[in-house]
Chain A
């Protein structure tokens, strides 16, 4: 398995607040990397640095290096970067348009015009997000009429439609019911065949079920990164063990 992204000595400040402290992680290609840790530990802040979403916030200083296939993402064009590194958010955020328009939004801004091509993208992306069967008969209905779980899968489809290489997911199931959560977890298995997935979760069982690698964050630092089974069964650090066994967080 090859390396997709490499994060070296990453530090991030919000004004005076040191939110990420010397973070180093390797993100493996075609695998699911889970980021776990208690609330406020910096895992969401971290995942947002991977496609430079923190650029949108004032007063953020970032030092260190994040590379995507060996190239420093600071030197990439940010639009190009986000095409390659897409993101799904905690709360489903479908655009107030039809299901179809939501999916083709990305391809269209990146230049796709042909109706047949767009139709094919819609079907492929919705199948990729395990939503096609549920919505194929109402593609032109408003996306906001879907259930929360369906909306979140639509948001995944919307990202898949621009054919990214890396898929960032920031607690994608935290606003969903258990049945929808299960569907998205099942989807991960499929997604990692084609994409590199990084997922933030506060649900340790979820990390255990779906990820290949896990990093444990605490107070802006990475305490431990390893294969998921090692983190869960043979943690090297006492704090990881305490968190995994539910002693805090």
Chain B
């Protein structure tokens, strides 16, 4: 008896330790970011950081305005969302409500393969396939451009939206669908007025997750979006995202401890804040739109 109790206790502690690893790691990351970020802001004023519209830390004269990088990140994110949200949601509706069992059994694994493709592959897919198509359609498209990277990031995040939204729709009890059919709803009305509203919290959460993923996506933008920090809304131009900049500096020969190298921590902090904000929004949405069926 005492022996069993002891084993239970030990197991509980071991499991707690494993659970704690992720928490500790998060805290450690925040602190490592924080330390360098603080030293960065000792040299560059926070006002300049958020108001200057030029980002040229590696060139003379140096400017430390993060706005062009934020703009680039948001441009990619918006473009990717325009692809992933409608296509992902439509795929989810099709899979959950319209597809027969056979079709679903083929389509779902294919969708999951899409999710398993390494992002570097998407990166050169953007560069060697999407960009030439764009250039044929619109000749003034730059070889490195935001549109091509956005499309690739969007395609990459389709499975995330589709899969999570489909799970949410599948969780809507059939009794609700039958109730709606039994008073003369068409299938489309059942989907748009019953199934989607009932699953809305998880569907929105899947959108946010895809958006967060797009904000943080690195490889595709590093390959296809260019490395020109620019405050522009034109997706055909070469831009740079926060992640793209961090890659550029990390791969370069910037001396450690210099102001140039500290920029990536400040930029990383901004990135972290953006994804944190997305997480918070997601939690609020889930809380607000949550529907309980029983």
* Known interface pairs A93-B178, A96-B292; A110-B173 also in contact (CB < 8 Å): no
A3 at the interface (CB under 8 A from B): no
**Are A83 and B175 within 8 A (Cβ)?**
no
* Known interface pairs A96-B293, A109-B189, A144-B292; A159-B176 also in contact (CB < 8 Å): no
A162 proximity list for chain B (CB < 8 A): 183-184
Count residues on chain A whose CB falls below 8 Å from chain B CBs. 31
B193 proximity list for chain A (CB < 8 A): 105, 109
**Are B182 and A159 within 8 A (Cβ)?**
yes
**Are A82 and B176 within 8 A (Cβ)?**
no
**Pick from A51, A80, A109, A110: contact of B182, CB under 8 Å:** A51
Whole-angstrom distance between the alpha carbons of A105 and B178 in the complex?
14
A53 at the interface (CB under 8 A from B): yes
**Are B184 and A105 within 8 A (Cβ)?**
no
Whole-angstrom distance between the alpha carbons of A63 and B144 in the complex?
64
Among B175, B182, B193: residue with most chain A CB under 10 A = B182
Could you give, for residues 63-99 of chain A, a 1 whenever the CB lies within 8 Å of some chain B CB and a 0 otherwise?
A: 0000000000000000111110011110101111100
B183 proximity list for chain A (CB < 8 A): 82-83, 86-87, 105-106, 158-159, 161-162, 164
B194 proximity list for chain A (CB < 8 A): 95
A166 to chain B, nearest CB (A): 12
**Are B198 and A96 within 8 A (Cβ)?**
yes
B294 proximity list for chain A (CB < 8 A): 144
A56 at the interface (CB under 8 A from B): yes
Q: Which residue of A lies closest to B293 (CB)?
A: A96
Majority DSSP secondary structure for residues of A touching B? mixed
**Are B179 and A95 within 8 A (Cβ)?**
yes
**Are B184 and A53 within 8 A (Cβ)?**
no
Q: Which of A130-153 contact B (CB under 8 A)?
A: 144
Could you give, for residues 82-101 of chain B, a 1 whenever the CB lies within 8 Å of some chain A CB and a 0 otherwise?
A: 00000000000000000010
A155 at the interface (CB under 8 A from B): yes
Q: Which of B51-110 contact A (CB under 8 A)?
A: 100
**Are A89 and B185 within 8 A (Cβ)?**
no
* Known interface pairs A93-B173, A93-B175; A105-B180 also in contact (CB < 8 Å): yes
Could you give, for residues 185-202 of chain B, a 1 whenever the CB lies within 8 Å of some chain A CB and a 0 otherwise?
A: 110010001100110000
A46 to chain B, nearest CB (A): 15
A3 to chain B, nearest CB (A): 23
**Are A155 and B184 within 8 A (Cβ)?**
no
A82 proximity list for chain B (CB < 8 A): 181-185
Whole-angstrom distance between the alpha carbons of A109 and B186 in the complex?
9
Q: Which residue of A lies closest to B185 (CB)?
A: A109
A51 proximity list for chain B (CB < 8 A): 182
Whole-angstrom distance between the alpha carbons of A95 and B292 in the complex?
10
B291 at the interface (CB under 8 A from A): yes
Whole-angstrom distance between the alpha carbons of A53 and B79 in the complex?
43
B184 proximity list for chain A (CB < 8 A): 79-83, 86, 106, 109-110, 162
B103 to chain A, nearest CB (A): 13
**Are A56 and B176 within 8 A (Cβ)?**
no
**Are B182 and A86 within 8 A (Cβ)?**
yes
B102 to chain A, nearest CB (A): 11
Q: Which residue of B lies closest to A94 (CB)?
A: B179
**Are A89 and B182 within 8 A (Cβ)?**
yes
**Are A93 and B179 within 8 A (Cβ)?**
yes
Q: Which residue of A lies closest to B172 (CB)?
A: A96
Subset of 9 A-B contacts with CB under 8 Å: A53-B178, A79-B186, A82-B184, A86-B184, A95-B180, A105-B183, A105-B193, A144-B292, A162-B184
Given A53-B178, A96-B293, A97-B197, 6 more contacts at CB 8 Å?
A82-B182, A82-B185, A96-B176, A144-B292, A158-B179, A159-B183
State the A residues within 8 Å of B (CB): 51, 53, 56, 58, 79-83, 86-89, 91, 93-97, 105-106, 109-110, 144, 155, 158-159, 161-162, 164, 168
State the B residues within 8 Å of A (CB): 100, 173, 175-176, 178-186, 189, 193-194, 197-198, 291-294
